Amino acid sequence: MSVRKCLFPAAGYGTRFLPATKAMPKEMLPIVNTPLIQYGVDEALAAGMNNIAIVTGRGKRALADHFDISYELEHQIRGSSKEASLAGIRRLMENCVFSFTRQMEMKGLGHAILTGETLIGNEPFGVLLADDLCVGKEHDVMTQLVHVYERFGCSVVAVEEVPREETYKYGVIVADEIESGLYEVRDMVEKPKVEEAPSNMAIIGRYLLTPDIFDIIRETPPGLNGEIQITDALKTQASRGRVLALKFSGRRFDCGSVDGFVEATNYFYQRMKERG
Ligand code: UTP
């Protein structure tokens, strides 16, 4: 079954970016002149997912406005050289369908994904956390996950080796390598203490999930910090069937942190200069 839908959990508070995120969604923070969410939708569309489902929360209206027509603005700049700046977003608006739902209480990423069930239904789907900005080598990371899904037909998560001392920030997997860069997940643990981390293979913000995950999340009790963790649900899915992990080729910037945000800004600024 082809993967047409991509879910964007974007209801989090973005506390690491206060005060910028007090009245503005973290996903609207720009890297150079493009908001994080737009890079994410670009990546989803490149992977063939033109049905974009966004889980928002209070104070996140700018996300819906960004993918809508802005009549006054567009009228104002019509015919001027400034119109070119809107070419990228217009292409996404023309080629994608957007739908939104709200997560009313922030009960964790697993809960946010379950909130999106109404927009996804019974089909495989991508999950893209827009604050992880990824630059793929040959293909975007979401496309790399689709390629694995097409071969194996099961859930796939993107992983990256991180320094041991940073494992406490991530879901960490224990897995057997079944071919170069591709792993079968045996166990996973959400944000382990550094001394207890079972490996340094960290799950990043790209997932391709089969829809049975919704029932599994429903039966998953709150875990770390009282939140419903997607990591716990994936662990159950792995124990009942199969979950794969792909060490993606490319680079990831953690734009939910100030350091990653600045690195991404420098990288994309440089790239823009080179491309002219
Ligand atoms: P984060 O752990 O980055 O949390 O969530 P956050 O609230 O966005 O940011 P900080 O840590 O307070 O700075 C990972 C992703 O899951 C979404 C977030 O929007 C982000 O994309 N999320 C998390 C939800 O949509 N709902 C939740 O209840 C929790």
Q: What is the pLDDT of residue 19?
A: 95
Q: What is the pLDDT of residue 271?
A: 94
Q: What is the pLDDT of residue 86?
A: 87
Global model pTM greater than 0.75: yes
Count of residues in the chain: 276
The count of domains in the chain is 1
Q: Are 228 and 235 in contact (CB under 8 A)?
A: no
Which residue ranges in the chain fall short of pLDDT 70?
Answer: none
C-alpha 242 to ligand 1 mean position (Å): 26
Q: What is the pLDDT of residue 146?
A: 98
Q: How far is the CA of 241 from the CAs of 14, 235, 237, in angstroms?
A: 34, 10, 6
Q: What is the pLDDT of residue 79?
A: 87
d(CA 174, CA 245): 10
Q: What is the pLDDT of residue 247?
A: 98
Q: Are 63 and 25 in contact (CB under 8 A)?
A: yes
Q: What is the pLDDT of residue 149?
A: 98
Q: What's the CATH number where 31 sits?
A: 3.90.550.10
- Shortest-distance Cα residue to atom 18 of ligand 1: 12
Cβ(108) – ligand 1 distance below 6 Å: yes
Q: What is the pLDDT of residue 58?
A: 86
Cβ(190) – ligand 1 distance below 6 Å: no
